Structure 1
């Protein structure tokens, strides 16, 4: 016997009533657009807490517009004439199959079955969402399973008691337009930057313009179910330092009963075991740490995870405050990584496509990416862990203008900021958190919230550095003094420009953004939206051809190298990995078909940065990413 059912998600839009899924022609496609198929993102979506019994709910769903005034899930309504839509995808994207712009409300539905043995011997059924933008209220068979707010965070609900063993099950998800999560009985809601709202939204805009892009609405990361025992491991926080000390906290559903931890080496052999109580801090030491994974057993539950051994700290080297990895100064150079795709917007076409960007950066010799005011699927951070690319992780920004957030909006931003840290602090590649970018949503009169937020970050995660204000309104909080300047760098230097401030020698000097030089391409590689094309000339600098682009890149990289040699520069972020819509300043074009770089030149210029750092400190031994 199987439990059959129907999943309905609420989101809203002007629906294209085309039956039968097909990719809609996006303003620009990629080599992966028409290879996605109807079974997208089949990979296990939660690499830090894996179980064998799970079921992917991605694929073709039904989609239709919803009544924004409705208060109840459409239990008895037919979806026979609804359009087919691909999940996960932004409803505004070509990959979705509907490509509806400025979506606010809708319903989505699909049928699914649950294996009969999932309901045996007291097991529980968990329904997991990796990300839904922006608010979601979930009903199963007309009864509320739960509510979630925040477009970048994973969440789940125990739906065991809501499903029927015999008969049809219907699951509804929709956004909420109420002001508090205590009253979530209205439709799915995604205001983006609509008047009266100020939410963590990154670069999404209802009306995109140059550095702001088409919004994303709906289920844009994997939906899946899993079977767990009555007593199960709910969450695992794990970190490990260069000396082999491991710190864990295992959240369990059954209190502080014993948890058995087996450490498995790279050949699958158990090298040590440890027992501790659930829901309490755990510490132990692994001798001569190498590649290994912990396997945890609690009651009848068994999960696997992984970690990496490294220590991130701040220290003074030859009189200059530096970031340290495992006790040594490590010059960090990477790109501003926006994570947008012309066919999927927030959702990459596939894991292969997503990792392609990272592999290009790695092949050039970069050792870091700054994940810019967006949060990626968990598999992105796993890929960075595997490739050895460090990650500076931004908090998705609120609105960049006036008015500034009110007290309730600020409190919600801070709540979601803590969620970001809590959900990502076990990925070893992440080494720095950014709170604010260029003053967007940053309160600068009356008080400076970044001081309390930086202190709170250190409480939640003492293993990483904090960049309180990347660019612009710096009042002295956090571990970094972060300068933004286009096109030339001003890194730890005795000169600065508008919206920056003099270098603070008490903190790490980093060039949080620079470069940004642009090169226009033929129409076949451009985002074919007229407003975006009209904005191309807003690029910080346009170079007429690739010869000029690479010449200018060499000049700016040489300036950065000289600032490393002369001043206190400890890291830099080049804008950017790829073009995005009307921005044409990426290493790669938006469709990933053209790499603008003279590869030999750029590899040499990047290596020269690491060599300059070695010359300053005598410690640095060439560019080596964490592996």
Structure 2
């Protein structure tokens, strides 16, 4: 992994002073969507101005400009290429930003693109009236070195997290600015052990095509000399707001926070206080946020000449004993969270949905079937995704992306070992777990954090989940923690989380050898079940032979759609029975959509076929909620600290 030294930075800066020659003109391949193995209804509607929405809804400025659109790209020869940036050159191919280089939408659709150059140019809008110019990236997979006008302006590591470069000292206020980005994305190539989720350079069945490059939005914005860098707001069901406003300066300059009721745009509370320190204040008579009533309040924060807008929802997440059983509580009441394993992959965009309409379609489908939750499976989405969940009322179990899942290597002595992180790699995993919590915790919809999935990347010589769970709770004491979903479970966290296909084993006195027994001191939840598949015609399949060859590895194949719906009904009835008889407190169905060689989604991978009998599934899901309500007497709930 590359981090430029100070001498390299100085050398690059010196080289930049000689950049007085005109841009070199080469033959650049023009952008066009490459035909992916499968399309969606949005594939050819993306155009060349993708994702025009402001990308960061919880810290939004009025003076901004999107840099999304057509950039240029070329493959870099190696990691050493970063020492010889192609300043003043036109790169070999046009590429759509944001996108994954492996996707059809990128216009590249390549593979094994471990090192890359990206380039664009921009001018500072005359409407930018403040002192600073901030350059923002939603996410770049995996490492990004940023050059502006020939100078090294910043470096970031972590493929799922946003970062900002203060570009003020590098840009020209008049004229064109050159932006050059070097990206290194090793994915699961040796010797790297990094958070990758389900990405792999060698896709097969439950592991999929990787995403390299600038896959979330890029934008610039104008800010004053002392500007707001971060806004953290946690609002409880009792109307109490805990907020910290961080700034670029070290002082405690005064700020003003206003809370605005969306129903009538009236200000319902204000707070004045210092920046860079935690503050607490109350809002009277709030309407709480829940899946049934996803009420949101707008927030305006003013710090000198800087003003940003945001929003929040008032809700309290905890756990408590209800009629002798540990339950998850929302606003003091047992709410049965039931949702899908949501992979977030797209046949045309891989990690990047074609547009906001496509992204929201998946969420609307879940909501229309009666689900009140999703588990964002070892991927982190755009801020606009979580905003949509906030607005619709979908609880989110948020996974930390896994390290090199289920992979092995052969040593020189011919022995085989499971690939696990060394001490440095484990420390980096923990650092990026911190980023996940810090960046996503303002979203009201996030209900629980998930640290490890099925032991993937989980060290076995000690139990790292205990320290990581403590770390998560320290960063965010307002949510529950699912330390190990599936296995290896040593008793950490708030959930006793079982995976079992196809039938559930949720909070029950029986379990299988590949799952975990129920621990009554924690919340019993079915972290994954279902997974039943139904094959479809080639028109709706990922048309890659290696993927098609693995379809029969699906947990169960039902030969007709009627049989698929029958099996779904029986499995949901099993879960219902475990709610009634035992201690089942939530469940996650596998999965929202098909992905590549998997055909076990509610939707096919192209989102053109919805498998569920809508009436049947809505009734069956409602029966789960009714059974949970029947086991509940709200007055006996005694919330305890999570």
Match of residue 65, structure 1, among 75, 96, 100: 75
2:529 and 2:588 in contact (8 A); partners too: yes
1:590 partnered with 2:605: yes
Which deviates further from its counterpart, 65-74 or 566-575?
65-74
Structure 1 residue 116 displacement after superposition? 3.6
Whole-Å separation in 2 of the counterparts to 1:77 and 1:39: 24
1:573 counterpart (572, 584, 588): 588
Q: Tell me which residue corresponds to 1:235.
A: 230
After TM superposition, give the deviation of residue 82 of structure 1 in Å: 1.9
Verify the 8 A CA contact 1:102 1:215 in the aligned structure 2: no
Match of residue 270 from structure 1: 267
Specify the alignment match of 1:142 in structure 2. Answer: 150
- For 1:497, the equivalent position in structure 2 comes to 512
Aligned to 1:317: 322
- The aligned counterpart of 1:298 is 303
Tell me the residue number matched to 2:281.
284
Which position in structure 2 is the counterpart of 1:625? none
- Residues of 2 paired with 1:30 and 1:18: CA distance? 28
Whole-angstrom CA distance in 2 between matches of 1:379 and 1:202: 20
Which runs of at least 4 in structure 1 moved beyond 3 Å after TM superposition?
Answer: 165-168
The 3-state SS of whatever aligns with 2:447 is strand
Q: Which residue of 2 aligns with 1:471?
A: 486
| Structure 2 SS opposite 1:555 | helix
Equivalent of residue 33 in structure 1, options 31, 43, 50: 43
Q: Which of 520, 523, 528 is equivalent to 1:508?
A: 523
SS in 2 for 1:264: strand
1:103 aligns with 2:138: no
User: 1:272 offset after TM fit, Å?
Assistant: 2.5
Say whether the 8 Å CA contact 1:73–1:172 is kept in structure 2. Answer: no
Q: Is the 8 A contact 1:75 1:141 kept in 2?
A: no
**Separation in 2, partners of 1:441, 1:617:** 37
CA distance in 1, matches of 2:350, 2:575: 32
**From 201, 207, 210, the counterpart of 1:206:** 201
Of residues 125, 132, 137, the one that matches 2:140 is 132
State the distance in 2 between where 1:146 and 1:78 align. 20
How many angstroms apart in 2 are the aligned matches of 1:596 and 1:430? 27
2:166 matched residue in structure 1: 158
Secondary structure of 1:273's aligned partner: strand
Matches within 5 A, 1:39-50: 39-50=49-60
- Distance in 2, Cα, partners of 1:467 & 1:323: 12
Residue 351 in 1 paired to residue 361 in 2? Answer: no
Contact 2:450 2:483 in 1 (8 A): yes
Whether the 8 Å CA contact 2:67–2:220 is kept in 1: the answer is: yes
* Counterpart in the other structure of 1:10: none
The reply on whether 1:215 has 2:210 as its aligned counterpart is yes
Structure 1 match to 2:85: 74
| Aligned residue-pair number | 588
Query: How does the TM-score come out when normalised to structure 1?
Result: 0.92
Instruction: Give the CA deviation at 1:270.
Output: 1.8
Report the alpha carbon displacement of residue 75 of structure 1 after superposing the two structures with TM: 4.5
Aligned to 2:638: none
Question: Are 2:299 and 2:309, in contact at CA under 8 Å, matched by a contact in 1?
Answer: yes
- Distance (whole Å) between structure 2 residues aligned to residue 607 and residue 168 of structure 1: 58
In the other structure, the counterpart of 2:256 is 260
CA deviation string 1:101-134 (max 9, x = no partner): 121122222221112453x56x100000000000
Residues 554 and 117 from structure 1, CA distance in 2 versus in 1: closer, same or farther, beyond 3 angstroms?
A: closer
Aligned position for 1:537: 552
In structure 2, the residue corresponding to 1:494 is in which secondary structure?
A: coil
Residue deviations 1:575-611 (CA, integer Å, cap 9, x gap)? 0000000000000000000000111111111011011
Q: Are the aligned partners of 1:73 and 1:139 in contact in 2 as well (CA < 8 Å)?
A: no
Q: Deviations over 1:271-296 (max 9, x none)?
A: 23210110011100100114421211
Note if contact 1:73-1:142 (Cα within 8 Å) is conserved in structure 2: no
**Post-superposition CA distance 1:59-89 (Å, at most 9, x none):** 011112223132435354521x621110000
Contact 2:455 2:486 in 1 (8 A): yes
Q: Are 1:526 and 2:541 an aligned pair?
A: yes
Structure 1 position 499, deviation (Å): 2.6
How many Å separate the matches in 2 of 1:573 and 1:152? Answer: 23
Partner of 1:305, secondary structure, is strand
2: distance between equivalents of 1:578 and 1:315? 33
1:166 Cα offset (Å) = 4.5
Structure 2: gaps (5+ residues): 1-15, 17-26, 288-295, 408-417, 636-642
Cα deviation 1:359-406 (Å, max 9, x = unaligned): 000011100000000000000000000000000000000012312110
Check conservation: 1:241, 1:309, Cα contact below 8 A: yes
Matched, 1:423 2:467: no
State the superposition RMSD in angstroms. 1.4
Deviation sequence 1:537-584 (CA, Å, 0-9, x none): 000000001010001111100000000000000000000000000000
CA distance in 2, matches of 1:71, 1:467: 40
C-alpha deviation, 1:168, in angstroms: 4.0
In structure 1, the partner of 2:186 is: 191
Q: 1:131-179 CA distances to partner (integer Å, 9 max, x unpaired)?
A: 00000011112211111000000001101101134554222211xxxxx
Greater shift after overlay, 21-30 or 109-118?
A: 109-118
The alpha carbon displacement at 1:416 in A equals 0.1
The 2-side partners of 1:587 and 1:482 are apart by 23
Q: Give the whole-Å Cα distance in 2 for the aligned partners of 1:443 and 1:497.
A: 22
Query: Partners in 2 of 1:270 and 1:470 — Cα distance?
Result: 42
Residues 488-497 or 138-147, more deviating? 138-147
C-alpha contact (below 8 Å) 1:397/1:436 kept by paired residues: yes
Rounded to whole Å, the distance in 1 between the matches of 2:82 and 2:607 is 44
Give the distance between the partners of 1:394 and 1:112, measured in 2 at CA.
Answer: 36
Unaligned ranges ≥5, structure 1: 1-5, 7-16, 175-187, 621-627
Residues 124, 174 of structure 2: 8 Å contact kept:
no
